[in-house]
């Protein structure tokens, strides 16, 4: 690492002088960035490159690996378990991203419009799910979803006993059940983000809308929603990343079951790297997941920015 | 870093320093210089407390030895053991799970010491039946499982069978079943009476293997099962056999008839154990370890091995040595480590461990102080009967490195009526065939 830093530092010294225009970036800036960059490189970039390297091998984690080129990546197209795992994340995006954003928007719009007593209290209550550790959340929800758990007890009490089932053991409902926990955990974050965003929207815009005779819906569509463009981008990017990288909920609640109905890429990474000694395959799934996250994030930000112009 | 970016560099290559079996000149700890022995295990509860006592006694016996015990959870040990043993400061003694993914991978990398020399010096092989110890054997290149050198040793074992609630069985007017047909009849009677015939929770996935193998062990020939699990006949053996199909069909039928806890795929194993102990369910097909939950002296529960098709046929069931103790190849004190293993697997240790529900593998264990009417008493009697009939079959999920994932998922799908028998045997056989092909 030293050989990278030294020239930068020298460069900084050489260029320091009065001929530099005010506001021009100074090379010495790199020096300030260096400590953080070194840590980032040591703990993120180097492991990342190492993982890329591993993904080209068939390796059990102990004995010398065998170079297999892109075969671990080709499995993306041939291994039905990898494909279905990625398919499941598409469902999870609906629950981790679209639903929380919709609920967050509705709550933010109503909480910032309606003046009620104890507003801070409600905001706090609605935000609580965000700050609870996911493992605790998963254990609690596994109990709620249990065949004799509170959810089924409630359904039976209101005469919907025929709907009651072992939610996490049901091939159709296990994935939406896990997803709904994500919705519960994410909406508070979206709500807070949007409430903050709405506070930045000039009151004059709302007044103008009202003068023009806009009702609550019209006002929301014409003023609030466009004013929240940046917050929406942030919420969309972060929640989609959460959906794509889901691991803890699945690990604690279903271990990917029943069958493989709730298996997700991050769970496959864990299972292959630590349980079945397929380290290369695990690395390939991880790298693919990262590339997808990059592509999706890039796509979302581009889309939202273009809309602005 | 340049090498990382450049042409892909081959990972791995950590191989153990010593892979030849040491032959000790004497047993016990020789020498008086201070030795620190690091031990990694995954014991919990009462067993863990007994280990602490045994460790203390060992240190008293050999004052120059200090035992540094590192307790891990089962899954934590599984994920960190390989990194630790391959690392610069490996533990001396480790509990290494049998099978390809754990012990097999460590042997292949030369990270475990063959224990044959120690086994001879300490007479371990005279104490535990050779057939039972096969699951702790690999060839030194780990190309074959169930044969070759001994890489782990333990005196205590596990066994799958049927726990039953004596009160409920009596209320239903039933005797302890002596044949498989009688067992099926008992399930039907229990179902008709509104009881849960078999307490079962499969949210954690592993429990399903016990339900399937309990039936499979009765129907498929024992030699076939052992050969399958040890890959003894390579690609000549298939999972798709009439017996496996029949076992799968029976399991599916039981699920279809509602013989298991309702919504079992969504019920946790620990929950169901707790509910069974509280009185929900007539039978529970699982391992000896739930004796700790029931209470070893409890007379309201009993245990039997899944009865055979014909009354009087020898009992066959899944089981074998528990987590074996192994020595890291890089250990600086292998002789002390071996003396420690001998101590932890001695008759003395066994007498302390038997009341926890662990089964003695060694012949002639003293069980005189145990009430034969208690659940522990019945368990030990059945274990003795199985040992004498040489009726233990290794865990099915040891057959291939990925067999656990494949079979647990397939069993959840079969019992959830998501797939049929055809697809079940096909899915599992595909895994088996792929592994046999990869071994060349």
Give the ipTM.
Answer: 0.85
- CA-to-CA distance for B229 and A204, rounded, in angstroms? 76
- pLDDT of A232 higher than 80: yes
Minimum Cα–Cα distance from B406: chain A residue: A259
User: Among B422, B2, B105, B281, which residue's Cα sits nearest to residue A277?
Assistant: B105
Q: Which stretch of DSSP H or E encloses residue B293?
A: helix B291-294
The answer to whether the B29-153+323-357 and B159-319+394-438 domains have the same CATH topology is yes
pLDDT band at A23 (very low <50, low <70, confident <90, very high): low
Cα distances (Å, whole numbers) of residue B18 to A61, A290, B108, B140? 19, 40, 13, 12
B281 and B197 Cβ atoms separated by less than 8 Å:
yes
Residue B146's SS3 state is: coil
Q: Which residues of B touch A53 (CB under 8 A)?
A: 4, 8-9, 11
The per-residue pLDDT for A308 is 55
By Cβ distance, the residue of A54, A146, A258 closest to B11 is A54
Among B6, B7, B11, the strongest candidate for a mutation testing the A interface, having the largest count of A CBs within 10 A, is B11
In chain A, what is the straight-line distance between the N-terminal and C-terminal CA atoms, in Å?
Answer: 42
DSSP of chain A, one letter per residue? -HHHHHHHHHHHHHH-STTSPTTPPPTHHHHHHHHHHHHHIIIIIHHHHHHHHHTTEE--SSSPPEE-TTHHHHHHHH-HHHHHHHHHHHHHHIIIIIHHHHHHHHHHHHHHHS--TTHHHHHHHHHHHHHS-HHHHHHHHHHHHSTTSHHHHHHHHTT-TTT---GGG-TTTHHHHHHHHHHHHHHHHHHHHHHHHHHHS-HHHHHHHHHTT--HHHHIIIIIHHHTHHHHHHHHHHHHHHHHT--HHHHHHTTT-STTTT--HHHHHHIIIIIS--HHHHHHHHHHHHHHHHHHHHHHHHHHHHHH-
Q: What is the 3-state secondary structure (H, E, C) of B259-288?
A: CECCCHHHCCHHHHHHHHHHCCCCEEEEEH
d(CA A123, CA A118): 9
Place of tokens 């009992």: B315
Backbone CA torsion sign across B220, B226, B232, B235: positive
Residues of B in contact with A170 (CB under 8 A): 265-266, 416
What pLDDT is attached to residue B15? 53
Contact, A240 vs A296, CB < 8 A?
Answer: yes
Q: Which of B114, B93, B86 is nearest to B18 (CA)?
A: B114
Q: How far apart are the C-alpha atoms of A285 and A290, rounded to whole Å?
A: 9
| Interface contact B12-A61, CB threshold 8 A | yes
Check if the beta carbon of residue A88 is closer than 8 Å to that of residue A168. Answer: no
Q: Is B410 on the interface with A (CB under 8 A)?
A: yes
What integer pLDDT is reported at residue B333 of this predicted model?
A: 93
pLDDT score of A12: 47
Q: How many Cβ atoms are within 10 Å of A91's Cβ, its own excluded?
A: 16
Question: What gap in Å lies between CA A187 and CA B341, rounded to an integer?
Answer: 54
pLDDT at residue A5, as a whole number:
44
| A54 interaction partners in chain B (CB closer than 8 Å) | 11
Closest to B321 in 3D by CA, of B150, B77, B201: B150
Question: Torsion angle of alpha carbons A283, A289, A295, A300, nearest 10°?
Answer: -150
Is the preceding omega at residue B18 within 30 degrees of 0, hence cis?
A: no
Q: Which residue of A has its CA nearest to B408?
A: A259
The reported pTM is 0.88
Please give, rounded to a whole number of angstroms, the shortest distance from the CA of A85 to a CA of chain B.
Answer: 14
Distance from CA of A81 to the nearest CA of B (A): 11
Structural domain boundaries in chain A:
2-54, 73-308
Q: Which helix (H) or strand (E) holds B81?
A: helix B74-86
Helix (H) or strand (E) holding B336: helix B334-344
292-321 in chain B: CB under 8 A from chain A: none
Please report, in tens digits, the pLDDT of each residue of chain B (440 residues total).
333 333 457 777 655 545 677 777 778 887 788 999 999 999 988 899 999 999 999 999 999 999 999 999 888 888 889 889 988 889 999 999 999 989 999 999 999 999 999 999 999 988 887 888 899 999 999 999 999 999 999 989 999 999 999 999 999 999 999 999 999 999 999 999 999 999 999 999 999 999 999 999 999 999 999 999 999 998 999 999 999 999 999 999 999 999 999 999 999 999 999 999 999 999 999 999 999 999 999 999 999 999 999 999 999 999 989 999 999 999 999 999 999 999 999 989 999 999 888 998 876 777 888 999 999 999 999 998 998 888 999 999 999 999 999 999 999 999 999 999 999 999 999 999 999 998 87
Backbone angles phi, psi at A106, to 5 degrees: -60, -45
Q: Do B4 and A53 touch (CB under 8 A)?
A: yes
CA A263 to chain B, closest CA, distance in angstroms equals 11
Helix (H, G, I), strand (E, B) or coil at B51: helix
Instruction: Work out the minimum CA distance from A92 to partner chain B, whole angstroms.
Output: 20
The pLDDT-based confidence of A1 (bands split at 50, 70, 90) is: very low
Q: Please check whether residue A104 is in contact with residue A115, taking contact to mean a CB–CB distance below 8 angstroms.
A: no
Q: How many residues does chain B have?
A: 440
Nearest residue to B406 (alpha-carbon basis) of A259, A125, A291: A259
Phi, psi of A211 (to 5 degrees): -60, -35
CA distance B299 to A136: 37
> Nearest CB to B4: which of A50, A64, A256?
A50
Beta strands (DSSP E) in B262-413 are 283-287, 301-304, 317-321, 325-327, 359-360, 392-393
- For the record, the structure tokens of A309 come out as 């112009």
Of A59, A274, A277, the CB nearest to B11: A59
Cβ contacts (< 8 Å) between A142 and chain B: which residues?
203, 268
- B10 part of contact set with chain A, CB < 8 Å: yes
What are the boundaries of each domain within chain B? 29-153+323-357, 159-319+394-438
Residues of B in Cβ contact (< 8 Å) with A57? 8, 10-11
Q: Is the pLDDT of residue A49 over 90?
A: yes
Cα distance from B222 to chain A (closest Cα, Å)? 27
Query: Which positions 365-404 of B are in contact with A (Cβ < 8 Å)?
Result: 401-402, 404
CA torsion, ordered A144, A148, A150, A151, to nearest 10 deg? 80
Which residues have C-beta within 8 Å of that of residue A288, sequence separation ≥ 6? A73, A76, A265
Residue-wise pLDDT tens digits, A123-143: 888 889 989 999 999 999 999
Shortest Cα–Cα distance, B189 to chain A (Å): 24
- Measured in degrees and rounded to the nearest 5, phi and psi for residue B154 equal -150, 155
Q: How far apart are the first and last CA of chain B?
A: 36
Q: Which stretches of chain A sit within 8 Å of chain B by CB?
A: 46, 49-50, 53-54, 56-57, 59-65, 67, 142, 145-147, 165-171, 174, 254-260, 271, 274-279
CATH-assigned architecture of domain B159-319+394-438: 3-Layer(aba) Sandwich (3.40)
CA distances from B183 to B164, B198, B244, B304 (A): 11, 11, 19, 11
Q: Say yes or no for a CB contact (<8 Å) between A258 and B265.
A: yes
Show the CA angle centred on residue B116, arms to residues B110 and B121, nearest 5°: 140
CATH 3.40.190.10 fits B29-153+323-357, yes or no: yes
Å between A59 CA and nearest CA of chain B = 7
Residue B406 burial by CB count (10 A; 0-12/13-18/19+): exposed, middle or buried?
Answer: buried
Is B412–A259 a contact, with Cβ atoms under 8 angstroms apart? Answer: yes
Radius of gyration of chain A measured on its C-alpha atoms: 25
Q: In angstroms, what separates the C-alpha of A226 from chain B's closest C-alpha?
A: 44
What φ, ψ does residue B283 adopt, rounded to 5°?
Answer: -120, 160
Q: Nearest CA to B104 among B76, B79, B137? A: B137
Tokens of B161: 């069978």
Does residue B16 sit in helix, strand or coil? coil
Strands B93-95 and B35-41 come out as parallel
Closest of A143, A125, A141 to residue A133, by C-alpha: A141
Are B79 and B47 in contact, with CB atoms under 8 Å apart?
A: no
Would you say the C-alpha torsion A69, A73, A77, A80 has a positive or negative sign?
positive
Instruction: Give the closest of A59, A171, A254 to B12, CB-based.
Output: A59
Nearest to A166 by CA among B285, B203, B207: B203
Inter-chain CB proximity A53 and B14 less than 8 Å: no
β partners of residue B150: B137
Question: In this prediction, what percent of chain A has a pLDDT beyond 70?
Answer: 91
B409 CB near a chain A CB, below 8 Å? yes
The residue behind tokens 């209320």 is: B171
| Class of the CATH domain delimited by A73-308 | mainly alpha
């Amino acid at each position: 690492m030293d050989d990278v830093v030294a020239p930068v530092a020298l460069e900084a010294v050489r260029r320091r002088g009065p001929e530099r225009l005010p506001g021009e970036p100074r090379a010495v800036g790199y020096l300030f960035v260096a400590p953080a960059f070194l840590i980032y490189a040591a703990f993120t970039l180097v492991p990342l490159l190492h993982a890329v390297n591993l993904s080209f091998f068939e390796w059990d984690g102990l004995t010398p690996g065998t170079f297999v080129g892109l075969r671990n990546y080709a499995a993306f197209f041939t291994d039905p378990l990898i494909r279905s795992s990625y398919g499941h994340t598409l469902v999870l995006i609906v629950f981790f991203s679209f639903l929380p954003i919709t609920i967050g928007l509705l709550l933010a719009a109503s909480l910032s419009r309606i003046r009620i007593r104890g507003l801070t209290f409600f905001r706090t209550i609605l935000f609580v799910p965000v700050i609870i550790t996911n493992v605790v959340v998963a254990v609690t929800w596994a109990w709620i979803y249990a065949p004799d758990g509170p959810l089924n007890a409630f359904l039976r009490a209101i005469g919907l006993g025929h709907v009651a089932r072992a939610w996490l053991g049901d091939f159709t409902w296990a994935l939406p059940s896990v997803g709904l926990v994500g919705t519960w955990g994410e909406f508070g974050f979206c709500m807070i983000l949007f409430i903050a965003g709405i506070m930045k929207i000039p009151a004059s815009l709302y007044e103008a809308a009202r003068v023009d005779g806009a009702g609550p819906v019209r006002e929301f569509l014409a003023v609030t929603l466009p004013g929240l463009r940046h917050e929406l981008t942030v919420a969309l990017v972060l929640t989609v990343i959460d959906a794509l990288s889901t691991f803890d909920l699945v690990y604690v609640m279903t271990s990917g079951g029943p069958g493989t109905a709730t298996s997700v890429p991050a769970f496959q990474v864990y299972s292959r790297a630590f349980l079945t000694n397929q380290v290369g395959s695990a690395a390939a799934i991880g790298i693919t997941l990262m590339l997808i996250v990059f592509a999706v994030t890039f796509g979302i930000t581009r889309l939202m920015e273009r809309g602005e112009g | 870093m340049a090498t990382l970016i450049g042409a892909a560099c081959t990972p791995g290559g950590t191989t153990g320093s010593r892979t030849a079996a040491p032959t000790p000149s004497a047993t016990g700890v020789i020498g008086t210089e201070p030795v620190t022995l690091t031990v990694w295990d995954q014991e919990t509860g009462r067993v863990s407390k007994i280990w602490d006592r045994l460790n203390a006694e060992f240190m008293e016996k050999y004052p120059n030895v200090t035992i540094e015990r590192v307790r891990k959870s089962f899954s934590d040990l599984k994920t960190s053991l390989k990194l630790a043993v391959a690392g610069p400061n490996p533990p001396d003694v480790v509990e290494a799970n049998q099978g390809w993914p754990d012990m097999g991978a460590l042997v292949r990398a030369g990270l475990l010491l063959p224990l044959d020399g120690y086994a001879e010096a300490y007479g371990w092989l005279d104490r535990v039946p050779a057939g039972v110890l096969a699951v702790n054997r690999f060839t030194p290149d780990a190309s074959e499982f169930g044969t070759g050198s001994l890489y782990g040793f333990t005196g205590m074992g596990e066994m799958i069978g049927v726990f039953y609630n004596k009160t409920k069985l009596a209320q239903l007017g039933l005797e302890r079943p002596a044949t498989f047909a009688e067992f099926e009849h008992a399930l039907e009677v229990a179902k008709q009476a509104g009881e849960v015939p078999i307490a079962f929770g499969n949210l954690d996935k592993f429990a399903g293997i016990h339900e399937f193998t309990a039936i499979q062990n009765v129907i498929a020939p024992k030699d076939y099962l052992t050969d399958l699990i040890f890959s003894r006949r390579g690609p000549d053996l298939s999972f798709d056999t009439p017996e496996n199909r029949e076992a799968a069909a029976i399991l599916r039928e039981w699920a279809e008839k509602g013989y298991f806890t309702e919504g079992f795929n969504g019920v946790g194993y620990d929950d169901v154990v707790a509910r069974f102990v509280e009185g929900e369910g007539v039978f529970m097909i699982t391992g000896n370890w739930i004796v700790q939950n029931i209470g070893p002296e409890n007379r309201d529960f009993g245990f039997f091995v899944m009865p055979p098709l014909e009354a009087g046929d020898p009992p066959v069931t899944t089981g074998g040595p528990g987590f074996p103790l192994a020595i890291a190849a890089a250990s600086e004190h292998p002789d002390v480590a071996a003396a420690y293993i001998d101590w932890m697997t001695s008759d003395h240790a066994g007498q302390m461990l038997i009341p926890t529900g662990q089964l003695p593998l060694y012949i002639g264990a003293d069980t005189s102080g145990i009430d034969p009417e208690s659940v522990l008493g019945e368990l030990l009697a059945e274990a003795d009967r199985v040992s004498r009939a040489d009726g233990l079959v290794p865990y099915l999920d040891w057959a291939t490195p990925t067999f656990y994932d494949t079979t647990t998922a397939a069993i959840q799908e079969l019992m959830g009526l998501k797939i049929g028998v055809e697809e079940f045997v096909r899915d599992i056989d595909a895994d088996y065939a792929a592994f046999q092909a990869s071994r060349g």
